Amino acid sequence: MDITQNYFEFLALPVTYQLDLQSLSERSRELQKTLHPDRFSHLSDLERRLSVQYTAYLNEAVTTLKNPLTRAQYLLKLEGIDTFSESQVHLEPMFLMQQMELREGLEAVHDAADPEAELSALQATVDSEMNSLRSQFDSFYRQSTPTSLEAAAVCVRKMQFIDKLGREIEALEDQLFDD
Amino acid sequence: MAYSEQVIDHYENPRNVGKMNDSDENVGTGMVGAPACGDVMRLQIKVSDEGIIEDAKFKTYGCGSAIASSSLVTEWVKGMSLDEAQDLKNTKIAEELALPPVKIHCSVLAEDAIKAAVADYKEKQTKK
């Protein structure tokens, strides 16, 4: 095992956005088995430390690749585009306007006559936006030119807003219906 | 992480929250967003014929520091000329609100928002 390999190589999976989640969990289970601490009990401290390091890397890899947003971000990072830490980028005013309206819609849910219906309508918007951004990302990523990768990064930035909205919908849902 | 008193004050009593009519030719609108945290900010200014900002409104979906930064900017820019508003620096916002290093980007977002609003207003004037 080699933790200088990228997550895909480490898990022996093809470097692609359309990742087969079934293979991901199978590969991860296989690796986990070979990394089980019991198998290392007779080994030296160094080797045991390595096994801990491999396990940590494996967990990191699985968490990152499982989530469609972080998987997209990781693929771009491999291409030298870091969207994980950037905070100041220009986004189309139309997109931001739409985000503003969605957030205002979420804020209005509290006082709506039928909050549950409003929330599921918002959730449906989030789902369809996310799906369309994912397929756009996939096609830009596969074109693999500098321009198309930049367009893929724009998709990722948009996904980050939709993802945040999705999490806020969930939080409000918990707050409204779980007690 | 603890918020400063100044941030809490703006967060609990945000100044100038609201919306102006974007189709009014004296109104400039700045829309900005920070993907990493999913924050969105709208900052609007109403400009007099003499080029002085008469009124400012904002709406921010984001953390306390982002809300406080935009709230503070709307307070500050009232009475400013467009040039003065455009020269507003995020460091002054961060200093006034005692923002910790990890929240500096919120003040940058507010600076970008006022710049975008001024730019939008100026663009409207050239199209007149």
Please tell me the predicted confidence (pLDDT) of residue A87. Answer: 64
Token duo for residue B100: 């910790």
Query: What's the rounded Cα separation, in Å, for the pair A164 and A91?
Result: 16
3-class state of residue B87 by DSSP = coil
How much is the average pLDDT of A99-108? 93
Please tell me the predicted confidence (pLDDT) of residue B128. Answer: 74
Strand extents, DSSP E, chain B = 27-34, 39-47, 53-61
Query: What's the rounded Cα separation, in Å, for the pair B100 and B2?
Result: 9
- Whether B77 shows a pLDDT value over 90: the answer reads yes
CB-based contact A122:A104 (threshold 8 Å):
no
- Confidence band for A170, pLDDT divided at 50, 70 and 90: very high
Tell me how many domains chain B contains: 1
Residue B127, domain member (yes or no): no
Residue B25, domain member (yes or no): yes
Binary contact (A100, B37; C-beta < 8 A): no
- Confidence band for A37, pLDDT divided at 50, 70 and 90: low
- pLDDT cut 90: percent of chain B above it: 82
| Whether A91 contacts chain B with CB within 8 A | yes
Catalytic residue among B37, B52, B104, B108: B37
Please name the residues in contact with A69: beta carbons below 8 A apart, sequence gap of 6 or more.
Answer: A156, A159, A160, A163
Residue B52, domain member (yes or no): yes
**pLDDT digit string, tens, across residues B95-115:** 999 999 989 999 999 999 999
Please tell me the predicted confidence (pLDDT) of residue B1. Answer: 59
Query: What's the rounded Cα separation, in Å, for the pair B31 and B16?
Result: 16
Count helices and strands (H / E) in chain B. 5, 3
B11: domain CATH number is: 3.90.1010.10
Residue B126, domain member (yes or no): no
Please tell me the predicted confidence (pLDDT) of residue A102. Answer: 94
Please tell me the predicted confidence (pLDDT) of residue A50. Answer: 82
Residue B43, domain member (yes or no): yes
How much is the average pLDDT of A149-162? 95
According to DSSP, the residues that pair with B32 across neighbouring strands are: B41
Neighbours of B123 (CB within 10 A): 10
B63 is catalytic: no
| Whether A100 contacts chain B with CB within 8 A | yes
Task: Give the orientation angle of helix A68-78 with respect to helix A115-143, to 10 degrees.
Answer: 20
Residue B19, domain member (yes or no): yes
pTM for this entry: 0.87
How much is the average pLDDT of A82-111? 87
Query: What's the rounded Cα separation, in Å, for the pair A44 and B64?
Result: 50
Q: Look up residue A89 and give its DSSP letter.
A: -
- Provide the shortest C-alpha distance from residue B105 to chain A (in Å): 7
B37 is catalytic: yes
Lowest mean pLDDT among A39-43, A153-157, B27-31, B124-128: A39-43
Query: What's the rounded Cα separation, in Å, for the pair A100 and B39?
Result: 10
Residue B53, domain member (yes or no): yes
Task: Mutate one of B31, B43, B99 to test the A interface: name it (highest A CB count within 10 A).
Answer: B31
Residues on chain B touching A87 (C-beta within 8 angstroms): 34-37, 105, 108-109
Q: Which residues of B85-121 are buried (b: 16+ CB within 10 A; e: fewer)?
A: bbebebeebbebbebeeebbbbbbbbbbbbbbbbebb
Residues on chain A touching B42 (C-beta within 8 angstroms): 96, 100
Q: Domain containing B108: what range?
A: 5-121
- Whether A175 shows a pLDDT value over 80: the answer reads yes
Please tell me the predicted confidence (pLDDT) of residue A33. Answer: 86
Catalytic residue among B27, B80, B106, B109: B106
Please name the residues in contact with A84: beta carbons below 8 A apart, sequence gap of 6 or more.
Answer: A73, A77, B36
Residues on chain B touching A91 (C-beta within 8 angstroms): 32-33, 35
Residue B116, domain member (yes or no): yes
- Whether B57 shows a pLDDT value over 90: the answer reads yes
Task: Mutate one of B19, B40, B60 to test the A interface: name it (highest A CB count within 10 A).
Answer: B40
